[in-house]
Structure 1
Amino acid sequence: MIAITDVTKTFGRADRRVTALDNVSLAVERGEIFGVAGQSGAGKSTLIRTVNLLERPDSGSIEVDGRVLTSLGAAELRSARRGIGMIFQHFNLLTSRTVQGNVELALEIVGVDVRERRRRAAEILDLVGLSSKACVYPGQLSGGQKQRVGIARALAAKPSVLLSDEATSALDPETTRSILALLKTINSELGLTVLLITHEMDVVKTICDSAALLEGGRVTETGNLVDLIRTPGSRLARDLFPLGEVHTPAGHTVVDITFSGGLADRPVIAQLARVHGLDVSILGAAVETIGGNQAGRTRLALPGARDDIDRALADLRGQGLLVEVVGGADA
Protein backbone atom coordinates (compact mmCIF):
# COMPACT_ATOMS: atom_id res chain seq x y z
CA MET A 1 0.00 0.00 0.00
CA ILE A 2 2.90 2.34 0.82
CA ALA A 3 6.34 1.87 -0.74
CA ILE A 4 9.11 4.21 0.38
CA THR A 5 12.18 3.52 -1.72
CA ASP A 6 15.69 4.93 -1.20
CA VAL A 7 14.37 8.22 0.17
CA THR A 8 16.86 10.88 1.25
CA LYS A 9 15.87 14.27 2.66
CA THR A 10 18.25 17.03 3.77
CA PHE A 11 17.72 20.48 5.23
CA GLY A 12 19.91 23.57 5.32
CA ARG A 13 22.59 25.09 3.14
CA ALA A 14 25.46 23.21 1.59
CA ASP A 15 27.91 24.15 4.35
CA ARG A 16 25.43 23.29 7.13
CA ARG A 17 23.35 20.55 5.61
CA VAL A 18 21.55 18.14 7.94
CA THR A 19 20.46 14.72 6.66
CA ALA A 20 17.06 13.93 8.17
CA LEU A 21 16.48 10.78 6.11
CA ASP A 22 19.33 8.73 4.72
CA ASN A 23 18.39 6.28 1.94
CA VAL A 24 15.26 5.04 3.75
CA SER A 25 13.17 2.20 2.35
CA LEU A 26 9.97 0.80 3.90
CA ALA A 27 7.03 -1.28 2.70
CA VAL A 28 3.63 -1.07 4.39
CA GLU A 29 1.13 -3.77 3.47
CA ARG A 30 -2.48 -2.98 2.62
CA GLY A 31 -4.74 -2.98 5.68
CA GLU A 32 -2.03 -3.18 8.34
CA ILE A 33 -1.07 -0.81 11.14
CA PHE A 34 2.61 -0.01 10.75
CA GLY A 35 4.56 1.83 13.46
CA VAL A 36 7.79 3.76 13.03
CA ALA A 37 9.54 4.07 16.39
CA GLY A 38 12.51 6.17 17.34
CA GLN A 39 13.79 8.87 19.63
CA SER A 40 13.42 12.61 19.07
CA GLY A 41 15.54 13.74 16.14
CA ALA A 42 15.56 10.32 14.48
CA GLY A 43 13.70 11.64 11.42
CA LYS A 44 10.25 10.20 12.15
CA SER A 45 8.20 13.34 11.48
CA THR A 46 10.14 14.05 8.31
CA LEU A 47 9.52 10.49 7.15
CA ILE A 48 5.76 10.58 7.61
CA ARG A 49 5.54 14.01 5.95
CA THR A 50 7.26 12.65 2.86
CA VAL A 51 4.50 10.06 2.41
CA ASN A 52 2.01 12.75 1.31
CA LEU A 53 4.81 15.01 0.05
CA LEU A 54 4.34 17.72 2.64
CA GLU A 55 8.10 17.29 2.55
CA ARG A 56 9.40 16.43 -0.90
CA PRO A 57 12.42 14.10 -0.73
CA ASP A 58 15.71 15.06 -2.38
CA SER A 59 15.86 11.62 -3.97
CA GLY A 60 14.00 8.33 -3.97
CA SER A 61 10.35 7.55 -4.62
CA ILE A 62 7.08 7.45 -2.68
CA GLU A 63 4.30 5.16 -3.91
CA VAL A 64 0.85 5.09 -2.30
CA ASP A 65 -1.92 2.78 -3.47
CA GLY A 66 -0.24 2.18 -6.80
CA ARG A 67 0.55 5.83 -7.61
CA VAL A 68 4.13 7.14 -7.54
CA LEU A 69 3.52 10.49 -5.87
CA THR A 70 7.03 11.77 -6.50
CA SER A 71 6.37 11.66 -10.26
CA LEU A 72 3.01 13.50 -10.22
CA GLY A 73 2.32 17.05 -11.28
CA ALA A 74 0.64 19.53 -8.93
CA ALA A 75 -2.97 18.80 -9.96
CA GLU A 76 -2.46 15.03 -9.89
CA LEU A 77 -0.78 15.26 -6.49
CA ARG A 78 -3.70 17.23 -5.03
CA SER A 79 -6.03 14.50 -6.27
CA ALA A 80 -3.84 11.71 -4.82
CA ARG A 81 -3.66 13.43 -1.45
CA ARG A 82 -7.43 13.06 -1.05
CA GLY A 83 -6.78 9.38 -0.45
CA ILE A 84 -4.35 10.12 2.40
CA GLY A 85 -5.69 11.36 5.74
CA MET A 86 -3.41 12.79 8.43
CA ILE A 87 -3.77 13.37 12.15
CA PHE A 88 -1.38 15.54 14.16
CA GLN A 89 0.09 15.67 17.65
CA HIS A 90 -1.37 19.10 18.44
CA PHE A 91 -4.76 18.62 16.75
CA ASN A 92 -4.52 21.67 14.40
CA LEU A 93 -8.23 22.50 14.70
CA LEU A 94 -9.75 25.82 13.68
CA THR A 95 -10.97 27.48 16.87
CA SER A 96 -13.48 29.60 14.96
CA ARG A 97 -15.32 26.55 13.60
CA THR A 98 -17.50 24.08 15.43
CA VAL A 99 -16.62 20.40 15.63
CA GLN A 100 -18.81 19.72 12.61
CA GLY A 101 -17.33 22.70 10.79
CA ASN A 102 -13.82 21.37 11.31
CA VAL A 103 -14.77 17.99 9.90
CA GLU A 104 -16.59 19.56 6.95
CA LEU A 105 -13.55 21.68 6.08
CA ALA A 106 -11.74 18.77 4.46
CA LEU A 107 -14.74 18.21 2.17
CA GLU A 108 -15.32 21.88 1.54
CA ILE A 109 -11.78 22.27 0.21
CA VAL A 110 -12.33 19.59 -2.44
CA GLY A 111 -15.69 21.03 -3.53
CA VAL A 112 -18.22 18.65 -1.93
CA ASP A 113 -21.69 20.24 -1.78
CA VAL A 114 -23.20 21.42 1.50
CA ARG A 115 -25.75 18.64 1.91
CA GLU A 116 -23.21 15.87 1.34
CA ARG A 117 -20.68 17.58 3.64
CA ARG A 118 -23.20 17.65 6.48
CA ARG A 119 -24.23 14.06 5.92
CA ARG A 120 -20.66 12.79 5.84
CA ALA A 121 -19.60 14.86 8.87
CA ALA A 122 -22.51 13.49 10.92
CA GLU A 123 -21.64 9.95 9.85
CA ILE A 124 -17.98 10.21 10.79
CA LEU A 125 -18.63 12.04 14.08
CA ASP A 126 -20.86 9.13 15.06
CA LEU A 127 -18.01 6.73 14.26
CA VAL A 128 -15.59 8.59 16.57
CA GLY A 129 -18.20 9.00 19.32
CA LEU A 130 -18.72 12.77 19.07
CA SER A 131 -22.24 13.15 17.65
CA SER A 132 -23.30 15.08 20.73
CA LYS A 133 -20.45 17.57 20.28
CA ALA A 134 -21.16 18.57 16.68
CA CYS A 135 -22.11 22.17 17.55
CA VAL A 136 -19.42 22.66 20.19
CA TYR A 137 -16.21 24.67 19.57
CA PRO A 138 -12.72 23.15 20.09
CA GLY A 139 -12.07 25.32 23.14
CA GLN A 140 -14.84 23.46 24.97
CA LEU A 141 -13.32 20.01 24.36
CA SER A 142 -10.83 17.85 26.24
CA GLY A 143 -7.56 16.82 24.60
CA GLY A 144 -8.90 13.39 23.74
CA GLN A 145 -12.05 14.87 22.21
CA LYS A 146 -9.97 17.28 20.13
CA GLN A 147 -7.94 14.38 18.80
CA ARG A 148 -11.13 12.54 17.91
CA VAL A 149 -12.18 15.59 15.89
CA GLY A 150 -8.78 15.50 14.19
CA ILE A 151 -9.30 11.83 13.35
CA ALA A 152 -12.81 12.53 12.04
CA ARG A 153 -11.47 15.32 9.83
CA ALA A 154 -8.77 13.01 8.47
CA LEU A 155 -11.41 10.38 7.63
CA ALA A 156 -13.94 12.77 6.07
CA ALA A 157 -12.79 12.31 2.48
CA LYS A 158 -12.80 8.49 2.81
CA PRO A 159 -9.03 7.97 2.49
CA SER A 160 -7.40 4.59 1.99
CA VAL A 161 -4.36 5.56 4.07
CA LEU A 162 -4.23 7.27 7.47
CA LEU A 163 -1.00 8.90 8.69
CA SER A 164 -0.59 9.56 12.40
CA ASP A 165 2.12 11.99 13.51
CA GLU A 166 2.65 11.32 17.25
CA ALA A 167 -1.14 11.52 17.67
CA THR A 168 -1.15 10.37 21.30
CA SER A 169 2.02 11.91 22.73
CA ALA A 170 0.17 14.97 24.11
CA LEU A 171 -2.49 12.85 25.85
CA ASP A 172 -2.70 11.22 29.27
CA PRO A 173 -2.42 7.41 29.48
CA GLU A 174 -6.15 6.70 29.75
CA THR A 175 -7.00 8.99 26.83
CA THR A 176 -4.14 7.47 24.83
CA ARG A 177 -5.66 4.00 25.31
CA SER A 178 -9.04 5.22 24.06
CA ILE A 179 -7.52 6.87 20.97
CA LEU A 180 -5.49 3.75 20.15
CA ALA A 181 -8.62 1.62 20.51
CA LEU A 182 -10.40 3.99 18.11
CA LEU A 183 -7.58 3.71 15.56
CA LYS A 184 -7.74 -0.08 15.83
CA THR A 185 -11.50 0.01 15.26
CA ILE A 186 -11.11 2.31 12.25
CA ASN A 187 -8.44 0.03 10.80
CA SER A 188 -10.68 -3.00 11.26
CA GLU A 189 -14.04 -1.58 10.20
CA LEU A 190 -12.91 0.65 7.33
CA GLY A 191 -9.98 -1.44 6.12
CA LEU A 192 -7.67 1.56 6.36
CA THR A 193 -3.91 1.21 6.16
CA VAL A 194 -2.42 3.13 9.10
CA LEU A 195 1.14 4.42 9.26
CA LEU A 196 2.01 5.96 12.61
CA ILE A 197 5.12 7.37 14.20
CA THR A 198 5.80 7.28 17.90
CA HIS A 199 8.55 7.33 20.50
CA GLU A 200 6.42 5.18 22.81
CA MET A 201 6.85 1.41 22.52
CA ASP A 202 3.54 0.94 24.35
CA VAL A 203 1.83 2.35 21.24
CA VAL A 204 3.65 -0.12 18.99
CA LYS A 205 2.82 -3.20 21.04
CA THR A 206 -0.79 -2.13 21.62
CA ILE A 207 -1.97 -1.78 18.02
CA CYS A 208 0.78 -2.34 15.44
CA ASP A 209 1.10 -5.33 13.14
CA SER A 210 4.57 -4.36 11.91
CA ALA A 211 7.18 -1.81 12.92
CA ALA A 212 10.45 -0.18 11.98
CA LEU A 213 13.15 1.38 14.13
CA LEU A 214 14.51 4.70 12.84
CA GLU A 215 17.83 5.94 14.19
CA GLY A 216 19.75 8.94 12.86
CA GLY A 217 17.64 9.03 9.72
CA ARG A 218 18.25 5.36 8.90
CA VAL A 219 16.02 2.30 9.24
CA THR A 220 18.00 -0.07 11.44
CA GLU A 221 15.33 -2.75 11.80
CA THR A 222 11.93 -3.52 10.30
CA GLY A 223 9.47 -6.40 10.14
CA ASN A 224 6.29 -8.02 11.37
CA LEU A 225 6.14 -7.84 15.18
CA VAL A 226 5.61 -11.57 15.62
CA ASP A 227 8.67 -12.25 13.44
CA LEU A 228 10.76 -9.65 15.26
CA ILE A 229 9.94 -11.25 18.61
CA ARG A 230 11.50 -14.47 17.30
CA THR A 231 14.62 -12.73 15.94
CA PRO A 232 17.78 -13.04 18.05
CA GLY A 233 19.23 -9.65 18.98
CA SER A 234 16.20 -7.65 17.80
CA ARG A 235 16.30 -4.14 19.29
CA LEU A 236 12.58 -3.67 18.76
CA ALA A 237 11.79 -6.95 20.50
CA ARG A 238 14.04 -5.96 23.40
CA ASP A 239 12.21 -2.64 23.76
CA LEU A 240 8.83 -4.38 23.58
CA PHE A 241 9.80 -6.49 26.61
CA PRO A 242 12.13 -4.33 28.72
CA LEU A 243 13.83 -6.26 31.52
CA GLY A 244 16.44 -3.69 32.51
CA GLU A 245 20.18 -4.15 32.89
CA VAL A 246 21.64 -7.62 33.21
CA HIS A 247 22.93 -8.49 36.68
CA THR A 248 24.65 -11.87 36.82
CA PRO A 249 24.86 -13.66 40.20
CA ALA A 250 28.22 -15.30 40.87
CA GLY A 251 28.46 -18.78 39.40
CA HIS A 252 25.35 -18.36 37.23
CA THR A 253 24.51 -18.04 33.56
CA VAL A 254 21.76 -15.55 32.76
CA VAL A 255 19.45 -16.26 29.83
CA ASP A 256 16.51 -14.49 28.22
CA ILE A 257 13.78 -16.82 26.95
CA THR A 258 11.29 -15.32 24.48
CA PHE A 259 8.00 -17.04 23.70
CA SER A 260 4.99 -16.28 21.53
CA GLY A 261 1.80 -17.87 20.29
CA GLY A 262 1.36 -21.53 21.21
CA LEU A 263 4.67 -21.60 23.07
CA ALA A 264 3.41 -19.21 25.77
CA ASP A 265 2.10 -21.98 28.01
CA ARG A 266 5.27 -24.13 28.06
CA PRO A 267 6.31 -25.03 31.66
CA VAL A 268 9.88 -23.89 31.05
CA ILE A 269 10.96 -23.37 34.64
CA ALA A 270 9.48 -26.66 35.80
CA GLN A 271 11.19 -28.47 32.93
CA LEU A 272 14.58 -26.96 33.75
CA ALA A 273 14.21 -28.04 37.36
CA ARG A 274 12.64 -31.47 36.81
CA VAL A 275 14.41 -32.70 33.66
CA HIS A 276 17.77 -30.95 33.95
CA GLY A 277 18.07 -30.57 37.71
CA LEU A 278 18.69 -26.81 37.61
CA ASP A 279 17.68 -24.50 40.47
CA VAL A 280 16.24 -21.60 38.50
CA SER A 281 16.05 -18.01 39.74
CA ILE A 282 13.63 -15.63 38.01
CA LEU A 283 15.26 -12.22 37.48
CA GLY A 284 12.47 -10.60 35.47
CA ALA A 285 9.53 -11.16 33.16
CA ALA A 286 7.34 -9.18 30.77
CA VAL A 287 4.21 -10.49 29.04
CA GLU A 288 2.09 -8.70 26.42
CA THR A 289 -0.60 -9.46 23.86
CA ILE A 290 0.83 -8.70 20.42
CA GLY A 291 -0.96 -9.36 17.18
CA GLY A 292 -3.71 -11.10 19.11
CA ASN A 293 -1.26 -13.60 20.63
CA GLN A 294 0.35 -13.74 24.04
CA ALA A 295 4.08 -13.14 23.92
CA GLY A 296 6.76 -12.33 26.42
CA ARG A 297 10.28 -12.61 27.71
CA THR A 298 11.59 -14.18 30.91
CA ARG A 299 15.07 -13.65 32.35
CA LEU A 300 16.47 -16.57 34.34
CA ALA A 301 19.66 -17.19 36.29
CA LEU A 302 20.91 -20.78 36.00
CA PRO A 303 23.59 -22.18 38.34
CA GLY A 304 26.01 -24.98 37.57
CA ALA A 305 28.45 -26.18 34.95
CA ARG A 306 28.16 -24.59 31.54
CA ASP A 307 27.98 -27.95 29.77
CA ASP A 308 24.88 -28.89 31.78
CA ILE A 309 23.30 -25.52 31.07
CA ASP A 310 24.09 -25.75 27.35
CA ARG A 311 22.28 -29.10 27.16
CA ALA A 312 19.24 -27.61 28.88
CA LEU A 313 19.19 -24.58 26.58
CA ALA A 314 19.56 -26.76 23.49
CA ASP A 315 16.48 -28.68 24.68
CA LEU A 316 14.49 -25.42 24.94
CA ARG A 317 15.67 -24.23 21.53
CA GLY A 318 14.60 -27.54 20.08
CA GLN A 319 11.06 -26.74 21.24
CA GLY A 320 11.05 -23.51 19.20
CA LEU A 321 11.81 -21.08 22.02
CA LEU A 322 14.19 -18.20 21.42
CA VAL A 323 16.95 -18.53 24.03
CA GLU A 324 19.72 -15.93 24.35
CA VAL A 325 22.60 -16.01 26.83
CA VAL A 326 22.93 -12.44 28.17
CA GLY A 327 25.11 -12.89 31.26
CA GLY A 328 27.92 -15.17 32.35
CA ALA A 329 31.36 -16.10 31.14
CA ASP A 330 30.43 -16.56 27.45
CA ALA A 331 27.73 -13.89 27.12
Structure 2
Amino acid sequence: MAVPMAVSYAAFLKVSLTYKQRIAESVMLHNELVSENERASGLAESNRFLALSDTLTGLPNRELFVDRLRTSVIRSRAEETSKPTLLVLNLDRFKQVNDDFGIATGDTILLTIGRRLKRLLKPQDSLARLGSDPSGAPDPPPDLTARVSAAVRAASSTPEHRIARPSLSRPQRLAVGGGLLAATAAVVIGAVTLTRDPGPSFPAGPTASRITVAPEDFPIPETELRALLSAPAELGALTDPQRLASCLAGLGHSPGGPVLGARTDRVAGRPAVVLVLPDDVPGRATAVVVAPTCSADDTGLLARRSLNLS
Protein backbone atom coordinates (compact mmCIF):
# COMPACT_ATOMS: atom_id res chain seq x y z
CA MET A 1 0.00 0.00 0.00
CA ALA A 2 1.54 3.33 -1.05
CA VAL A 3 2.04 6.00 1.61
CA PRO A 4 0.55 9.37 0.63
CA MET A 5 3.18 11.97 -0.29
CA ALA A 6 1.78 14.52 2.20
CA VAL A 7 2.19 12.07 5.10
CA SER A 8 5.78 11.21 4.08
CA TYR A 9 6.74 14.89 3.78
CA ALA A 10 5.25 15.66 7.24
CA ALA A 11 7.18 12.79 8.80
CA PHE A 12 10.37 14.02 7.11
CA LEU A 13 9.82 17.53 8.47
CA LYS A 14 9.25 16.14 11.99
CA VAL A 15 12.46 14.10 11.89
CA SER A 16 14.39 17.06 10.43
CA LEU A 17 13.18 19.45 13.15
CA THR A 18 14.00 16.94 15.88
CA TYR A 19 17.50 16.48 14.44
CA LYS A 20 18.08 20.26 14.28
CA GLN A 21 16.82 20.65 17.85
CA ARG A 22 19.29 18.02 19.07
CA ILE A 23 22.13 19.74 17.20
CA ALA A 24 21.21 23.09 18.78
CA GLU A 25 21.12 21.48 22.24
CA SER A 26 24.54 19.88 21.63
CA VAL A 27 26.00 23.22 20.54
CA MET A 28 24.60 24.95 23.63
CA LEU A 29 25.99 22.20 25.87
CA HIS A 30 29.40 22.50 24.16
CA ASN A 31 29.46 26.28 24.64
CA GLU A 32 28.55 25.89 28.32
CA LEU A 33 31.37 23.37 28.81
CA VAL A 34 33.87 25.67 27.07
CA SER A 35 32.79 28.64 29.21
CA GLU A 36 33.03 26.55 32.38
CA ASN A 37 36.52 25.36 31.40
CA GLU A 38 37.62 28.93 30.71
CA ARG A 39 36.29 30.09 34.09
CA ALA A 40 38.01 27.18 35.84
CA SER A 41 41.25 27.89 33.99
CA GLY A 42 41.09 31.59 34.90
CA LEU A 43 40.37 30.75 38.54
CA ALA A 44 43.27 28.28 38.66
CA GLU A 45 45.60 30.85 37.10
CA SER A 46 44.47 33.47 39.62
CA ASN A 47 44.99 31.08 42.54
CA ARG A 48 48.44 30.14 41.21
CA PHE A 49 49.40 33.82 40.93
CA LEU A 50 48.20 34.60 44.46
CA ALA A 51 49.97 31.53 45.90
CA LEU A 52 53.32 32.55 44.42
CA SER A 53 53.04 36.33 44.88
CA ASP A 54 53.36 38.73 47.78
CA THR A 55 49.85 39.88 48.74
CA LEU A 56 50.91 43.53 49.07
CA THR A 57 53.36 44.24 46.24
CA GLY A 58 52.43 41.49 43.78
CA LEU A 59 56.12 40.53 43.55
CA PRO A 60 57.24 36.88 43.71
CA ASN A 61 57.15 35.58 47.28
CA ARG A 62 59.70 33.45 49.13
CA GLU A 63 58.54 30.15 47.56
CA LEU A 64 58.85 31.39 43.98
CA PHE A 65 62.13 33.17 44.77
CA VAL A 66 63.71 29.99 46.18
CA ASP A 67 62.57 28.04 43.11
CA ARG A 68 64.12 30.60 40.73
CA LEU A 69 67.30 30.74 42.83
CA ARG A 70 67.61 26.96 42.69
CA THR A 71 67.14 27.06 38.90
CA SER A 72 69.86 29.72 38.56
CA VAL A 73 72.30 27.66 40.62
CA ILE A 74 71.66 24.56 38.51
CA ARG A 75 72.14 26.56 35.29
CA SER A 76 75.38 28.10 36.58
CA ARG A 77 76.78 24.63 37.25
CA ALA A 78 75.90 23.49 33.74
CA GLU A 79 76.97 26.66 31.89
CA GLU A 80 80.33 28.26 32.58
CA THR A 81 79.14 31.63 31.18
CA SER A 82 76.21 31.77 33.61
CA LYS A 83 77.22 33.67 36.75
CA PRO A 84 74.11 34.65 38.76
CA THR A 85 74.32 37.47 41.28
CA LEU A 86 72.21 37.69 44.44
CA LEU A 87 71.53 41.10 45.97
CA VAL A 88 69.68 41.34 49.30
CA LEU A 89 68.22 44.71 50.38
CA ASN A 90 66.99 45.51 53.87
CA LEU A 91 65.03 48.59 54.96
CA ASP A 92 66.58 49.95 58.14
CA ARG A 93 64.26 51.02 60.95
CA PHE A 94 61.21 50.07 58.90
CA LYS A 95 59.36 48.92 62.02
CA GLN A 96 59.78 52.44 63.42
CA VAL A 97 58.09 53.83 60.30
CA ASN A 98 55.08 51.54 60.85
CA ASP A 99 54.93 52.46 64.54
CA ASP A 100 55.24 56.24 64.01
CA PHE A 101 53.25 56.76 60.78
CA GLY A 102 51.02 53.71 60.50
CA ILE A 103 50.99 50.49 58.49
CA ALA A 104 49.38 52.23 55.49
CA THR A 105 52.42 54.50 55.16
CA GLY A 106 54.76 51.52 55.43
CA ASP A 107 52.79 49.67 52.73
CA THR A 108 53.03 52.70 50.45
CA ILE A 109 56.81 52.78 50.91
CA LEU A 110 57.08 49.07 50.06
CA LEU A 111 54.94 49.50 46.93
CA THR A 112 56.96 52.52 45.76
CA ILE A 113 60.30 50.79 46.30
CA GLY A 114 59.06 47.65 44.55
CA ARG A 115 57.86 49.60 41.49
CA ARG A 116 61.09 51.62 41.21
CA LEU A 117 63.34 48.58 41.53
CA LYS A 118 61.25 46.67 38.99
CA ARG A 119 61.82 49.38 36.39
CA LEU A 120 65.60 48.83 36.68
CA LEU A 121 65.48 45.09 36.03
CA LYS A 122 66.41 43.31 32.82
CA PRO A 123 64.02 40.69 31.35
CA GLN A 124 66.07 37.84 32.82
CA ASP A 125 66.25 39.42 36.30
CA SER A 126 63.89 38.60 39.14
CA LEU A 127 62.76 40.79 42.06
CA ALA A 128 61.07 39.24 45.08
CA ARG A 129 59.87 40.34 48.51
CA LEU A 130 60.85 37.82 51.15
CA GLY A 131 59.37 39.54 54.18
CA SER A 132 59.43 37.75 57.50
CA ASP A 133 59.55 33.97 57.61
CA PRO A 134 58.04 32.57 60.84
CA SER A 135 59.17 29.04 59.89
CA GLY A 136 62.78 30.10 59.33
CA ALA A 137 65.67 29.53 61.68
CA PRO A 138 65.81 31.80 64.77
CA ASP A 139 68.48 34.45 65.22
CA PRO A 140 71.74 33.10 66.69
CA PRO A 141 72.38 33.84 70.40
CA PRO A 142 74.38 37.03 71.08
CA ASP A 143 77.20 35.12 72.81
CA LEU A 144 77.63 32.88 69.77
CA THR A 145 77.80 35.91 67.49
CA ALA A 146 80.43 37.49 69.75
CA ARG A 147 82.59 34.32 69.75
CA VAL A 148 82.44 34.03 65.95
CA SER A 149 83.37 37.71 65.53
CA ALA A 150 86.30 37.33 67.94
CA ALA A 151 87.53 34.25 66.07
CA VAL A 152 87.40 36.08 62.73
CA ARG A 153 89.32 39.06 64.12
CA ALA A 154 91.95 36.75 65.69
CA ALA A 155 92.37 34.85 62.42
CA SER A 156 92.83 38.06 60.44
CA SER A 157 95.71 39.12 62.73
CA THR A 158 97.79 35.98 62.10
CA PRO A 159 100.48 36.14 59.37
CA GLU A 160 99.10 33.23 57.34
CA HIS A 161 95.70 34.98 57.03
CA ARG A 162 97.01 38.51 56.58
CA ILE A 163 96.92 40.02 53.12
CA ALA A 164 100.28 41.49 52.16
CA ARG A 165 100.01 44.90 50.51
CA PRO A 166 102.60 45.33 47.74
CA SER A 167 104.75 48.47 47.92
CA LEU A 168 104.46 50.98 45.08
CA SER A 169 107.42 51.87 42.93
CA ARG A 170 108.43 55.48 42.37
CA PRO A 171 106.71 55.76 38.94
CA GLN A 172 103.54 54.30 40.45
CA ARG A 173 103.60 56.82 43.32
CA LEU A 174 104.07 59.67 40.82
CA ALA A 175 101.12 58.36 38.76
CA VAL A 176 98.91 58.20 41.85
CA GLY A 177 99.88 61.74 42.84
CA GLY A 178 99.17 63.04 39.34
CA GLY A 179 95.77 61.32 39.35
CA LEU A 180 94.84 62.91 42.67
CA LEU A 181 95.83 66.37 41.39
CA ALA A 182 93.77 65.89 38.21
CA ALA A 183 90.75 64.73 40.24
CA THR A 184 91.04 67.74 42.56
CA ALA A 185 91.22 70.13 39.60
CA ALA A 186 88.16 68.49 38.02
CA VAL A 187 86.18 68.91 41.23
CA VAL A 188 87.12 72.58 41.51
CA ILE A 189 86.24 73.30 37.87
CA GLY A 190 82.93 71.44 38.19
CA ALA A 191 81.99 73.34 41.34
CA VAL A 192 82.71 76.70 39.68
CA THR A 193 80.69 75.73 36.60
CA LEU A 194 77.70 74.63 38.67
CA THR A 195 77.67 77.86 40.71
CA ARG A 196 77.70 80.00 37.55
CA ASP A 197 75.16 78.02 35.54
CA PRO A 198 71.79 77.68 37.28
CA GLY A 199 70.86 74.82 34.91
CA PRO A 200 67.70 74.26 32.92
CA SER A 201 64.32 74.49 34.60
CA PHE A 202 61.68 71.85 34.03
CA PRO A 203 57.93 72.16 34.58
CA ALA A 204 56.63 70.44 37.68
CA GLY A 205 55.05 67.06 37.11
CA PRO A 206 51.59 65.99 38.23
CA THR A 207 51.03 66.15 41.98
CA ALA A 208 48.61 64.35 44.23
CA SER A 209 46.41 67.45 44.41
CA ARG A 210 46.01 67.42 40.61
CA ILE A 211 45.19 63.71 40.50
CA THR A 212 42.92 63.61 43.56
CA VAL A 213 40.12 65.89 42.43
CA ALA A 214 37.29 67.42 44.39
CA PRO A 215 34.02 65.41 44.37
CA GLU A 216 32.29 67.96 42.13
CA ASP A 217 35.11 67.68 39.57
CA PHE A 218 35.12 63.87 39.43
CA PRO A 219 34.03 62.77 35.92
CA ILE A 220 31.47 60.25 37.29
CA PRO A 221 28.53 61.53 39.42
CA GLU A 222 28.28 60.20 42.96
CA THR A 223 24.87 58.64 42.27
CA GLU A 224 26.38 56.51 39.49
CA LEU A 225 29.29 55.52 41.73
CA ARG A 226 26.85 54.33 44.40
CA ALA A 227 24.91 52.39 41.75
CA LEU A 228 28.08 50.44 40.94
CA LEU A 229 28.07 48.99 44.46
CA SER A 230 24.94 46.93 43.70
CA ALA A 231 25.59 46.20 40.02
CA PRO A 232 27.74 43.41 38.54
CA ALA A 233 31.34 44.53 38.09
CA GLU A 234 32.32 45.27 34.47
CA LEU A 235 36.12 45.26 34.49
CA GLY A 236 36.68 45.22 30.74
CA ALA A 237 40.38 44.70 30.02
CA LEU A 238 41.01 44.27 33.77
CA THR A 239 38.95 41.07 33.86
CA ASP A 240 42.23 39.17 33.62
CA PRO A 241 43.17 38.32 37.26
CA GLN A 242 46.88 39.01 36.79
CA ARG A 243 46.30 42.40 35.17
CA LEU A 244 43.78 43.37 37.87
CA ALA A 245 46.18 42.33 40.65
CA SER A 246 48.97 44.35 39.04
CA CYS A 247 46.68 47.39 38.70
CA LEU A 248 45.57 47.19 42.34
CA ALA A 249 49.19 46.97 43.47
CA GLY A 250 50.05 50.06 41.44
CA LEU A 251 47.15 51.93 43.07
CA GLY A 252 48.45 51.06 46.54
CA HIS A 253 45.85 48.37 47.31
CA SER A 254 46.28 44.68 48.02
CA PRO A 255 46.59 42.72 44.72
CA GLY A 256 44.08 40.18 45.99
CA GLY A 257 41.74 42.73 47.53
CA PRO A 258 38.06 43.06 46.62
CA VAL A 259 36.58 45.41 44.04
CA LEU A 260 33.31 46.90 45.33
CA GLY A 261 32.16 48.05 41.91
CA ALA A 262 33.43 48.63 38.38
CA ARG A 263 32.39 49.64 34.89
CA THR A 264 33.97 50.61 31.59
CA ASP A 265 33.53 54.19 30.43
CA ARG A 266 35.02 56.97 28.31
CA VAL A 267 36.61 59.94 30.04
CA ALA A 268 37.86 62.94 28.06
CA GLY A 269 37.33 60.96 24.86
CA ARG A 270 39.52 58.07 26.01
CA PRO A 271 38.52 54.56 27.17
CA ALA A 272 38.73 54.12 30.92
CA VAL A 273 37.73 51.80 33.76
CA VAL A 274 35.97 53.14 36.87
CA LEU A 275 36.79 51.22 40.06
CA VAL A 276 35.31 51.53 43.54
CA LEU A 277 37.75 50.11 46.08
CA PRO A 278 37.61 49.72 49.87
CA ASP A 279 39.29 52.42 51.94
CA ASP A 280 41.36 52.11 55.11
CA VAL A 281 38.76 54.23 56.92
CA PRO A 282 35.61 52.25 57.87
CA GLY A 283 32.48 53.43 56.08
CA ARG A 284 34.39 54.98 53.19
CA ALA A 285 35.56 53.85 49.76
CA THR A 286 37.90 55.18 47.08
CA ALA A 287 36.74 55.73 43.50
CA VAL A 288 39.38 55.85 40.76
CA VAL A 289 39.38 56.23 37.00
CA VAL A 290 42.26 54.37 35.32
CA ALA A 291 43.31 53.42 31.82
CA PRO A 292 42.37 49.91 30.57
CA THR A 293 46.12 49.19 30.44
CA CYS A 294 46.49 49.86 34.19
CA SER A 295 49.43 47.99 35.72
CA ALA A 296 51.85 48.25 38.63
CA ASP A 297 54.33 50.12 36.42
CA ASP A 298 51.81 52.62 35.01
CA THR A 299 48.28 52.83 36.37
CA GLY A 300 47.15 55.50 33.91
CA LEU A 301 45.33 57.15 36.83
CA LEU A 302 43.02 59.92 35.59
CA ALA A 303 41.10 60.84 38.75
CA ARG A 304 40.59 59.73 42.34
CA ARG A 305 38.10 60.70 45.00
CA SER A 306 36.83 59.51 48.37
CA LEU A 307 33.30 58.14 48.65
CA ASN A 308 31.22 58.08 51.84
CA LEU A 309 29.31 54.78 52.05
CA SER A 310 27.04 55.77 54.94
The two structures share one fold, judged by TM-score above 0.5: no
Given the two structures, how large is their TM-score scaled by the length of structure 2? 0.25
Name the TM-score, length of structure 1 as normaliser.
Answer: 0.24
Name whichever structure is richer in helix by fraction. 2
Larger gyration radius, structure 1 or structure 2 = 2
Query: Which structure shows the higher strand fraction?
Result: 1
